Amino acid sequence: MEANQQIKTTAVKGTDTARLVRAMVKNIYQSAHEAKANGQKVAYMMVASQYDEILRAMDIVPLPTENYAGLCAAKRDMDRFLLKAEADGYSQVLCSYARIGLGFDSLRKELGHIPEGSPDGGMPVPDMMLGSSAVCDPRFKWFQATSRFLAAPTFGMDVVAPPPQADLNEVRDYYIKYQRDQLLGLIEFLEKQTGKKMDKERLWEAIRLGDKAWQIWYDIDRLRVAVPSPMPSQDHFSIMVAGHYYSGTQIAVDFYQKLYDEVKYKVDNKIGVIADEKYRILYGGGLPPWHTLWIFNYFESFGAVFVIENVYRGFDPVEVPSHVKDPVDYLAWRAFLRFTRYHEKARAHSGNPIVEKLLGLIDDYKIDGVVFHACRSCRATTIGQTHIKSELGKYTSIPMMQLVSDMVDLRDYSEAQWKAQISAFIEALEGREKG
Amino acid sequence: MPFAGIDIGSTMTKVVVVDDKEKMLASHIGPTGVEHRHLALKVMEDTIQKSGLQFENLNFIVATGYGRINVPFADKQITEITCHARGIRSLFPSVRIIIDIGGQDSKGIKLDAEGKVANFVMNDKCAAGTGRFLEVIAETLGINLVDMGEIALKANGFVQISNMCTVFAEHEVTSRLSEGAGVAEIVAGLHEAIAGRVVNMTRHLGIEKDVVVTGGGAKNVGLIKAIAGKVGFPVLTPPEPFITGALGAALVGKDFYDRGVRPAHERKREEVKFFS
């Protein structure tokens, strides 16, 4: 009896609005099932691939496979999918998001139906799979691997960004043209799959909604500079669902407006996440530990609140030049400007855009300490993390700590060791406080 | 004005009593192993007896080590990181990097110029780089753990041990033996492998002089030689590496007391419940 009870993994939220996200997550998968039943097209997609608004403009229902992996971990129902992928021959060092996705798809095919009791009803068979090179290579290769046993057409879109040392004036046109060509290739693929031409006016409307939602999201994060913190990082890891999985919809705009109002109220009335905020922590990087999000509340029990984070954030607002009149051109320009947001600052200072971003957050948010999360199977967010941490140490003397586990694979997590490290980190913060 | 620190590690419990001049009055080490875990109170009482004091005389008691939680007779629990830093700094004021090689884990600690913990790293949930690794291999080789350091010093070079997983390293050692490699060279290779792992981990902090190695690993002369080789300069070791955590705990207790902190609750002279 006891063994069947789900272990609590989630964190207590700081805002009421964040509690609405659970229903939004359920709706993602429910909508996909309903769309399939109604003959609407459903696409596996990757977060932050810069193509979200195109899917909305073409009435394609997005099915975020990475989010599903996180959901399985939060429900502590990931092992059967991870083990299936590994039994199929996928290495344990491969991205665990991908392993859950590959394992789920493989198990569904083997059973001939969605595995029983899958979180939120599971994912239906998609009509197409849209990979992307933004962030990392598994997001490009994952669906190619899935297509070996799942009969759904696959498109991999390249998403590019110049290195920080590049002269942006020199490379800008090349990057934007290449990105535009990639987007046009995707649109051609989608038109073929749906049998419909993309309506540029509808794309403009989705872009308008997408930009509006992300602007409000950015404004919320700016409110979070307040002391005491009105909204903690555990809320961020919920509320990002609107920006990343409902981008280009009125739902996301309305959600963020509601959240903005609540956070503003808390700031105006000095209502903090906890009654006695002693330490303000920056989540410096690495995917969140979806399997153990209550760890944020554990920090809070020592008076330490995660006030801001550097992962799954909305991109800072960018200004696309007014001469850009075509929506696809706009998306290419916007992607370029988003990815190069901290390049000039980096060239003038540390040489590293992430270090620049973190230094800005440390200053703006009055940060007392930084915690990184190294995920064994996420090369994109973990390789270079130690380097970033030591580079950061050249410009700030605040305590920093790197916890190690994985975003979804519990086998890489040790609760005893985390608690020991957290205790030592809190003592370092206390030692600093005493002067 | 005496203060006590108790360090309950995975294999041993260590207690140190100091006076208000930070002079060590007594120390004692007892086993922590599965069947001895409840004996932490006895180690404490034996040490107090050695110092000629009474339990009631102690102004502050700090517990540290992995068994520090729920020590009924301690006034405060503090991590080994902070305690080692305080203890080692009292012995070596110039220390900037501490490498603690314990039975169950290993740690790197960086201190700032004032002796505060500036940063730290701990090994993964893995026996590699810990005393347990050497213990398992000593058993495989049929030699005493305490002799391993001396044996390594007699080696003519070393055999490369590439596998740091304890289980696989055991297999690797067995196959090296069957290939005809000498025991001394294998032991030296094991020390090279552990030193490589802990020094590499500590490099995340930026290694600078002085480096002090403590914990059970510091008793192993072969390992110290290998660590110095990796670091590139001689490293220091405390006269009694087992007790630096307990010493630090006692001194942290004194620091609390000096700042006006007093025991918040009544001490219970009961066995450590955490392990029961």
DSSP A362-409: HHHTT-SEEEEEEETT-HHHHTTHHHHHHHHTTT--S-EEEEEE-SS-
DSSP A116: T
Return the CATH number of B106-237, one of 3.40.50.800, 3.30.420.40, 3.90.180.10, 3.40.50.2020. 3.30.420.40
ipTM comes to 0.78
The kind and range of the H/E element at A24 are helix A21-37
Give the one of B105, B116, B206 whose C-beta lies nearest to A390's C-beta.
B206
Indicate which of A423, A429, A430, A432 best probes the interface with B, i.e. most B CBs within 10 Å of its own CB: A423
For residue B66, what is the nearest residue in chain A, using CA coordinates? A420
The pLDDT value given to residue B273: 61
Q: Rg of chain B over CA atoms, in angstroms?
A: 19
With beta carbons less than 8 A apart as the criterion, state whether A138 and A147 touch: no
With beta carbons less than 8 A apart as the criterion, state whether B242 and B14 touch: yes
In tens, the pLDDT along A368-405 reads: 999 999 999 999 999 999 899 989 999 998 999 999 99
Please report whether residue A183 resides in a domain.
yes
CA–CA separation, A46 and A56 (whole Å): 14
DSSP B158: -
In A150-226, alpha helices (H)? 168-194, 200-223
CB contact under 8 A, B81 and A393: no
Q: Which residue has the higher pLDDT, A1 or A74?
A: A74
What range defines the domain where residue A121 resides?
A: 8-434
Q: Give, to the nearest 10 degrees, the angle between helix A327-339 and helix A200-223.
A: 30
Mean pLDDT, chain A, whole residue set: 94
In tens, the pLDDT along A123-133 reads: 999 999 999 99
For residue A435, what is the nearest residue in chain B, using CA coordinates? B116
Nearest to residue A16, comparing CAs of A255, A328, A241, A373?
A255
The pLDDT value given to residue B81: 94
Residue A373 to residues A172, A277, B78: CA-CA distances in angstroms? 33, 22, 24
In A195-285, alpha helices (H)? 200-223, 233-245, 250-268
CB atoms within 10 A of CB A422: 20
CA–CA separation, A222 and A281 (whole Å): 16
pLDDT class for A44, splitting at 50, 70, 90?
very high
Query: What six digits make up the tokens of A379?
Result: 């090369």
The pLDDT value given to residue B167: 76
Low-confidence ranges of chain B (pLDDT < 70): 33-37, 124-128, 164, 273-276
Beta bridge partners of B121: B108
- How many structural domains is chain A composed of? 1
3-state secondary structure of B163: coil
The total number of residues shown for chain B amounts to 276
Please enumerate in sequence order all residues whose Cβ is within 8 A of that of B145, keeping only pairs 6 or more positions apart, or say none: B131, B134, B135, B138
CB contact under 8 A, B117 and A417: no
3-state secondary structure of A138: helix
CA–CA separation, A259 and A243 (whole Å): 12
Please report whether residue A287 resides in a domain.
yes
Please report whether residue A1 resides in a domain.
no
Please report whether residue A119 resides in a domain.
yes
Sign for the pseudo-dihedral over CA of A428, A430, A431, B2: negative
CA–CA separation, A129 and A98 (whole Å): 13
Per-residue b or e along A107-128, where b marks 16 or more CB atoms closer than 10 Å to that residue's CB: bbeeeeebbeebbbebbbbbbb
With beta carbons less than 8 A apart as the criterion, state whether A209 and A252 touch: yes
The kind and range of the H/E element at B121 are strand B117-122
CA–CA separation, B164 and B101 (whole Å): 15
Same fold, B3-83+243-258 and B106-237: yes
CB contact under 8 A, A390 and B79: no
Chain A residues interacting with chain B (CB cutoff of 8 angstroms): 386, 389-390, 393, 397, 399-402, 404, 414, 416-417, 420-421, 423-424, 427-428, 431-432
pLDDT class for A5, splitting at 50, 70, 90?
very low
CB contact under 8 A, B117 and A401: no
With beta carbons less than 8 A apart as the criterion, state whether A21 and A242 touch: yes
The pLDDT value given to residue A435: 54
CA–CA separation, A47 and A64 (whole Å): 7
The total number of residues shown for chain A amounts to 435
Give the one of A386, A397, A416 whose C-beta lies nearest to B204's C-beta.
A386
Residue A6 has pLDDT above 60, yes or no: no
Concatenating the DSSP letter of every residue in A206-225 gives HHHHHHHHHHHHHHHHHHTT
Give the one of A400, A423, A431 whose C-beta lies nearest to B116's C-beta.
A431
Residue A76 to residues A10, A136, A259, A291, A407: CA-CA distances in angstroms? 10, 25, 28, 6, 12
Give the one of B79, B105, B124 whose C-beta lies nearest to A423's C-beta.
B79
Residue A72 has pLDDT above 90, yes or no: yes
The pLDDT value given to residue B33: 65
Give the one of A386, A424, A432 whose C-beta lies nearest to B79's C-beta.
A424
For residue A417, what is the nearest residue in chain B, using CA coordinates? B125
The minimum CA-CA distance between B117 and chain A, rounded to whole Å, is: 6
In chain B, alpha helices (H)? 40-51, 80-91, 131-141, 148-153, 166-178, 183-203, 221-231, 244-258
Main-chain dihedrals φ then ψ at residue A129, nearest 5 degrees: -130, 125
CB contact under 8 A, B119 and A393: yes
CA–CA separation, A370 and A385 (whole Å): 12
Domain B3-83+243-258 is found in CATH 3.30.420.40: yes
Amino acid at A119: P
B112 contacts in A (CB within 8 Å)? 397
Residue A311, CB-side half-sphere exposure with 13 Å CA sphere:
25
The pLDDT value given to residue A3: 42
According to DSSP, the β-strands at A42-45 and B211-214 are unpaired
The minimum CA-CA distance between A428 and chain B, rounded to whole Å, is: 6
The pLDDT value given to residue A424: 92
B125 contacts in A (CB within 8 Å)? 414, 417
Query: What six digits make up the tokens of B63?
Result: 């517990």
With beta carbons less than 8 A apart as the criterion, state whether A61 and A31 touch: yes
Query: What six digits make up the tokens of A375?
Result: 């995920």
According to DSSP, the β-strands at B106-111 and B97-101 are antiparallel
Amino acid at B227: I
Main-chain dihedrals φ then ψ at residue A134, nearest 5 degrees: -60, 130
3-state secondary structure of B33: coil
Amino acid at B86: R
With beta carbons less than 8 A apart as the criterion, state whether B217 and B145 touch: no
Residue A295 has pLDDT above 80, yes or no: yes
The pLDDT value given to residue B133: 83
Main-chain dihedrals φ then ψ at residue B214, nearest 5 degrees: -135, -175
Query: What six digits make up the tokens of B222?
Result: 């072969």
Can you say how many angstroms the Cα of residue A334 is from the centroid of all Cα atoms in its chain? 18
The pLDDT value given to residue A2: 38
**What angle is formed at CA B8 by the lines to CA B2 and CA B9, rounded to 5 degrees?**
135
CA–CA separation, A283 and A373 (whole Å): 8
CA–CA separation, A115 and A79 (whole Å): 13
The pLDDT value given to residue B124: 65
The pLDDT value given to residue B276: 40
Sign for the pseudo-dihedral over CA of A341, A345, A346, A347: positive
Question: Structural domain boundaries of chain B?
Answer: 3-83+243-258, 106-237
B80 contacts in A (CB within 8 Å)? 424
Residue A209 has pLDDT above 90, yes or no: yes
The pLDDT value given to residue B9: 84
Beta bridge partners of A306: A281
